[in-house]
Chain A
Amino acid sequence: MSSLRKVYVLGVGETVFGMLEDDYHILGQRAVRAAIRDAGISWQDIQSAFVGNGTNGITTGQRIFRDLGMCGKLPIINVESACSSGAMAVHCAYLKVATGVDEISIGVGTENASLHREPGSAPSPDMTDIEGFLGAVMVAKYALRAQRYIYETGATVEDLAQVTVKNRSHATNNPYAWRKGKITLEEILQSRMIATPLTLEQCCGMTDGAGAVIVGSEKMVKKLGLSKRVRIEASTVVSGPFSIGPKDETADDIVTLGTKKAYEESGIGPEEIDLVECHDAFTICELLYYEAMGFCKKGEGIKMLREGEVTHGGKVVFSPRGGMLSYGHPMGASGAVQIVENVRQLRGECPGYQVEGAQTAMSQVTGGGVQGTQHAACTTHILSI
């Protein structure tokens, strides 16, 4: 690993998230242009592009960059691993610079779900997956984990709902977030049941959006004279360990594997991390991840939440942008936009939702469900300033 070059984030861009009329390629273009403006570079400086998208089609990246007149000027590679796609695109851009092939590369995540998916249905593994064929949807798989977590730890559904209360409150002043501000426990628990014990307000919405991250070498940082230098300390991708036997569904083997790798790569441990954007697609996820990422011991996640350790003023702020429970979760976009928001936090550019003095930020996004794995993929980034 020592032969890798240092990689920095030169610029970031995102769209407002929500149910949007514009399709994925237009959203992607908006994020790319915002990132180029933010970096203060020309489109010509970008030597390669990686585009993450979950379900909108084929050659999605070329579709984005053609309309910007950039097709034919750079290689464009499309990256897909369901919900992990956007972060994986940034990972690929990172590798391109870290290995010295390029000086500047861009990772984009984009998705329009609402224009393409049938309302009132839930995403599922595909029909070649035995669980998918038997009717599994992702929310059911998480509900099964929530039921078991409640059974084993004595947590209550009210505890789970507190994750929504916290994340929506974090997002109150975030102009890019979708559902934000005050929501009561009663409103959450009385919302429509999706899969017991997860009610609608404990689930990420079906939204649309895009994020883009431009990464570059130390040479480029100096050339651009960047004063706020956000460095990528770790960028890791792991695939899900496979077993047909019993797994502890209150633990998360792939998230533990991915974060452990990121901690090793960066030399940074959980005690040094100020904020985390995680895959909070459902309330249960955050509780599992406090533990799986090593922020507390197994079974103590609920204590962290109850004692205010995962909000402003606590040990580590989870989901300061509001997480997926506020943004919704456009499959291809989420992983990239988590990184965009973490960069803004480290630069101190989040008025009204700033984690004061933040110096180190982590983002984690899993992807897909394949029978015998807890998730098919997990991408983790640790950034510092």
Chain B
Amino acid sequence: MILHEETERNEMADKMKSRKEGDITFFHPDLLEVPENERPYLKGYKCKGCGKIWFPKFIPCPNPDCWSEDMEIIRLSREGKIYSATDVYIGQPSMRDYMPLIVGYVDLPEGIRVFAQLEGEINSFQCGDEVELITGPIRNNGRGEPIISYKFRKMAKK
């Protein structure tokens, strides 16, 4: 009996540990929806209490006069504008494989600014460029596998 409990406890500890080390391959169902036959989109959280739209997910609503826990998920625009972009050559120790890394702030029409990795050539992004949401690897997990999440790339010129 005692032995059995020990084993269970160890299994639980292992499970917790692997979760802490990060074995996810998708970041994150609360942020990003990738429908089968449609293009991916970011999930906005519209507060049913005060009407404000949030990204990422906040529960409760961070409006201190509201703090409602009731949120409606809405689709955020897939297209936005670069506020600023930079090519990063020295990053986090675990991100060596991803250098140089292009990152930027993307302004969405909903009045939301998103920090994101950008896919494209270094030295090619300008303030004001129009970009669209795609998915791709953003870092590796604890097992060295890529984690898929949202990124942006330049829109094809119309």
Contacts and interface: CB of A to CB of B under 8 A. Distances in A.
Contact of B89 (A134, A136, A195): A195
Interface stretch (A52-60, A98-106, A117-125, A221-229): A117-125
Contacts of A147: 84-86, 127
B105 A122 contact: no
A134 B138 contact: yes
Interface in B39-97: 54-56, 62, 83-93, 95
B7 interface: no
B149 A134 contact: yes
A137 B92 contact: yes
Contacts of A1: none
Residue of B31, B86, B116 with most partner-chain A CB within 10 A: B86
B136 to A, nearest CB: 12
A246 B92 contact: no
A134 B91 contact: no
Given A135-B138, A137-B91, A144-B103, A195 B111 contact: no
Interface string A132-144: 0111110110011
A247 B113 contact: yes
A33 interface: no
Chain A's interface: helix, strand, loop or mixed, by majority? Answer: loop
Contact of A134 (B62, B103, B123, B127): B103
B88 A135 contact: yes
A130 interface: yes
A131 B115 contact: yes
A143 B62 contact: no
Nearest to A132: B92
A148 B127 contact: yes
Contacts of A143: 86, 88
A135 B62 contact: no
Interface string A229-263: 00000000000001011110100000000000000
Contacts, number: 103
Interface string B122-158: 0100110000000000110000000001000000000
Contact of A144 (B62, B85, B112, B117): B85
Given A135-B139, A148-B83, A194 B113 contact: no
Band of interface residues on B: 35 or more
Interface string A257-284: 0000000000000000000000000000
Nearest to A121: B93
B115 A151 contact: no
A133 B27 contact: yes
A121 B90 contact: yes
B105 A144 contact: yes
A143 B83 CA distance: 12
A196 B124 CA distance: 12
Nearest to A142: B86
A74 interface: no
B58 to A, nearest CB: 9
Contacts of B84: 144-145, 147-148, 151, 249
Given A147-B85, A246-B107, A137 B90 contact: yes
B129 to A, nearest CB: 11
A68 interface: no
A192 interface: yes
B27 A135 contact: no
Contacts of A151: 84, 126-127
B26 interface: no
Contacts of B88: 135, 137, 139-140, 143, 194-195
Contacts of B95: 135
B22 to A, nearest CB: 8
A130 B112 contact: no
A371 interface: yes
A139 B138 contact: no
Going nearest first, the 8 A-B pairs with the smallest beta carbon separation are: A143-B86, A121-B93, A148-B84, A144-B84, A151-B127, A118-B93, A195-B88, A131-B115
Interface of A: 118, 120-122, 124, 127, 130-131, 133-137, 139-140, 143-148, 151, 192-197, 242, 244-247, 249, 371
Given A134-B117, A136-B103, 18 more contacts: A121-B91, A124-B91, A133-B139, A134-B149, A135-B91, A143-B88, A144-B104, A146-B86, A147-B84, A148-B84, A148-B127, A151-B84, A193-B87, A194-B89, A195-B89, A196-B87, A245-B111, A246-B113
